[in-house]
Amino acid sequence: MFVKRILIAAVALAYLGFLAVLGAAYLVGLKQASAWPPAGAGRAIADKDLPKVEKNVQQLEKRMSGLLPKGLYIVIDTAENRLYVKNGKDVVRTAVVSCGSGVVLEESGGKQRKWVFDTPRGEFSIKSKINNPYWVKPDWAFIEEGESIPKGLEDRIEAGTLGDYALGFGQGFFIHGTLYTRLLGRNVTHGCVRVGDEDLKAIFKAVPIGAKIYIY
């Protein structure tokens, strides 16, 4: 009986101790929260400095708007598989596209190379515009199919795969057409951006070489 009481008292004490510590933790939390924002933050400005700050803000806003790309540019959302042709802040055209699958291809023998099929992200610009493009199949295209890599260039050339137009944006990546239109809107490519025929034609005709591309 006595031992039982001692045990109950010990448990009660431990519980109270825990509550006390937790209470202290909440007090510390409240103290931290009440110390924010720091006293005087963002308020220490004299009346005479006001015009200077206003001018500074105007200049910064001007500089910021100067960073926006001039003329038409392309924005690609790789998660949603959407391409937007924009002019300033206006969206001129929206297209459903296919971006990189994110798959990794590893070469079993030979040089044991590795490719990651991601659409590159960042700021690019259109470097080339090609009518009736041919696809010069790179090594991975053969490795993926389990075929041997040909020695001659003529064995790598494939017509019709890339559609009627292609816009190159560097490092071998293109915005081009596709035979697999049912897969538009899904991540299926080896890194290029596939676009449907009509959208591709409109983009190709509208967007000049040098136009910026933002892929995110």
Residues of the shown chain interacting with another protein in the complex, contacts defined by CB under 8 A: 21-22, 24-26, 28-29, 32-33, 35-36, 42-45, 50, 53-54, 56-57, 60-61, 63-65, 67-69, 75, 77-80, 89, 101-109, 116-117, 121-123, 143-146, 182-188, 214, 216
CB of 81 to another protein, least distance (A): 9
CB nearer to another protein: pick between 6 and 197: 197
CB nearer to another protein: pick between 99 and 204: 99
Q: Other CB atoms closer than 10 Å to residue 137's CB: what's the count?
A: 18
CB nearer to another protein: pick between 144 and 164: 144
Spatial CA neighbour of 133 closest among 200, 47, 83: 200
CB of 14 to another protein, least distance (A): 15
CB of 20 to another protein, least distance (A): 11
CB nearer to another protein: pick between 100 and 163: 100
CB nearer to another protein: pick between 31 and 151: 31
CB of 51 to another protein, least distance (A): 11
CB of 183 to another protein, least distance (A): 6
